[in-house]
Amino acid sequence: MLKGSMRILLRILVAAITVAGVAYLPDLLSSGPTGATTDLGLGALLAEGSGLAYLVAFGGGVLTSLTPCVYPLVPITVSIFGAKQASSRRHAMALSGLYVFGIAVMYSSLGVGAALTGRAFGSVMQNPLVIGAVALVFATMAASMFGAFELQLPSTWQAKLHGVGGAGFWGAFVMGLVSGVIAAPCTGPVLAATLAFVATKGSVVFGVGIMFAYAMGMGVLFFLIGAFSVSLPKSGPWMDTVKSVFGVALLAAAGVFLKDVVPALQPLFLATRSAALTAAGVAGLGVMLGAFHGSFHGSLIHGLAKGVGVALVVSGIVYGAGAASARTRAHGEGITWAFRQDELAAIAQARAQGKPIIIDFWAEWCVACKELDKTAWTDPRVQVAAARFVTLKMDGTQDSDAFQKVFDKYGVVGMPTVLFIDSTGREVPQRITGAVEADEMLKYLESVDRTCSAAIACVARW
């Protein structure tokens, strides 16, 4: 009797925490969060050549590992490559270290590619097709968490891997490579700012170094859990609850990605407080029905209750994230853009009026672009300072020919990129390649028309 009462109280407590978390989610996501949704000032540090950029990149990697689409991978991948079955602490540390090294190799390769090709990979990793594929992977992993199947390498593969040095070691490294790709959409502006700068700098050594620091930060949590998992409690009923939590998190991450891929869903998300509270209530009801505590392997009624509960919790979380996006859209892009996609018209007006130009390369799927809208363009001081400019927004959401032509003309390598042309038609050397605060944007705006001089060469644009 007492044990049953404790279970009910625990479920009520978890439901209350879920309601509070989902209710607060729109405020959290729409208030300019850090970690996976801001570049942490990394773009500015890279431009200044500061050694702190490596430390910030490492910290950005650590924060990325805590995001909803990376953190649930920890117990899954550690289990797959065998750290939990390691024969000793040293064996577990070796497996975990190889896994992290695989992540580092993947991201260092991105740095090399960006340096050699001059193209940033941030936009590729945010491509709707890529996101759709990653969402499918998340859904598959979630099904495994709920017991639909056991996720492991085929026995024939395990035999072959064992023949070349052991399934554990080789499998750990390969899983690190794969996890680096799966986690890419969660890396956000930190990775985008880094790759954009590496592509501009064109240094392979620099690209490998900064990306290695980022990957090592992202791998810290994997290493710690993998290395010390041999001392974790034995599996039991509590493990089903843990797996259910991770399964819900994976499905919610897939849903959050997909909501941005399907434009028709956007009008369904409302920015009102009542909508967020309703979503929170739905998620709480899902917990009470057994989303985390029930089982799919019991009676039909219990399995159905858990399925409905999981659907309600996931729906509540996804709607909360959608409400945050709706608030961002309602907040607007800040300044009024005089021209969109029409660079020739913007230049013609600037020449006729003797004004400088702001060109903002932006895309709907670019997280850092929206972060820049919130942190800089919506600031009243920035809006006043930008009033003396001709403003041009180049929208790369659909990657049209008109956008690509201007994109190539100015040698842009990633988004967001903001460049400035002074009133004499010369582009100033400093560009913004990430989300910056309003104060920093003001410095850029105020320096235009004073930057180009005999000592500083500027590219003539008209």
Q: What is the CATH number of the domain that holds 436?
A: 3.40.30.10
Residue 81 and residue 100: Cα distance in Å, rounded?
12
Q: In this predicted structure, which of 47-61, 130-144, 296-310 has the lowest mean pLDDT?
A: 47-61
| Three-state SS at 410 | coil
40 and 16, same structural domain? no
- Residue 186, Cβ density class (10 Å: 0-12 exposed, 13-18 middle, ≥19 buried): buried
127 and 64, same structural domain? yes
DSSP 8-state class, residue 85 = G
Establish if 112 belongs to a structural domain. yes
Residue 294 and residue 310: Cα distance in Å, rounded?
10
Establish if 242 belongs to a structural domain. no
433 and 344, same structural domain? yes
pLDDT, residue 385, reads 94
Q: Tell me which of 331, 359, 380 is where a domain ends.
A: 331
46 and 13, same structural domain? no
Q: In this predicted structure, which of 50-54, 117-121, 160-164, 320-324 has the lowest mean pLDDT?
A: 160-164
Establish if 254 belongs to a structural domain. no
Cα-flanking dihedrals φ and ψ of residue 427, to 5°? -80, 130
pLDDT, residue 36, reads 38
Rounded mean pLDDT, 177-182: 70
368 and 305, same structural domain? no
pLDDT above 90 for 242: no
pLDDT above 60 for 376: yes
pLDDT, residue 212, reads 86
CB 18 within 8 Å of CB 313: yes
64 and 3, same structural domain? no
The DSSP element (H or E) to which 16 belongs, if any, is helix 2-30
Establish if 252 belongs to a structural domain. no
Establish if 251 belongs to a structural domain. no
How many Cβ atoms are within 10 Å of 20's Cβ, its own excluded?
12
Establish if 244 belongs to a structural domain. no
393 and 415, same structural domain? yes
Residue type, 256: V
At 299-322, the pLDDT tens digits run 788 888 888 999 999 999 888 888
pLDDT, residue 390, reads 96
pLDDT, residue 249, reads 80
More confident residue, 215 or 133: 215
Establish if 248 belongs to a structural domain. no
Q: In what order do the strands lie in the sheet with 390-395?
A: 339-340, 390-395, 357-362, 417-421, 426-427, 459-460
300 and 348, same structural domain? no
CB 416 within 8 Å of CB 360: yes
Establish if 77 belongs to a structural domain. yes
382 and 298, same structural domain? no
Burial 210-241 (b: 16+ CB within 10 A, else e): bbbbbbbbbbebbbebbbebbeeeeeeeeebb
CB 73 within 8 Å of CB 185: no
pLDDT above 60 for 370: yes
pLDDT, residue 184, reads 59
pLDDT, residue 382, reads 93
- Alpha-carbon distances of 394 from 3, 309, 337, 385, 428, rounded to whole Å: 61, 43, 10, 20, 18
108 and 72, same structural domain? yes
Q: Tell me which of 287, 310, 331 is where a domain ends.
A: 331
Which residue in the block uniquely carries the two structure tokens 């709480």? 284
Rounded mean pLDDT, 36-54: 57
DSSP 8-state class, residue 376 = I
The size of the chain, in residues, is 462
pLDDT, residue 186, reads 55
Question: How many independent structural domains does the chain possess?
Answer: 3
At 246-259, the pLDDT tens digits run 788 878 878 877 87
Residue 100 and residue 96: Cα distance in Å, rounded?
6
The answer to pTM > 0.85 is no
CA nearest to 291, candidates 322, 315, 325, 258: 315
What residues make up the domain containing 121? 32-237
Q: Tell me which of 297, 331, 365 is where a domain ends.
A: 331
Provide the pairing of β-strand 417-421 with 390-395.
unpaired
β partners of residue 432? 418
How many Cβ atoms are within 10 Å of 348's Cβ, its own excluded?
14
228 and 94, same structural domain? yes
40 and 186, same structural domain? yes
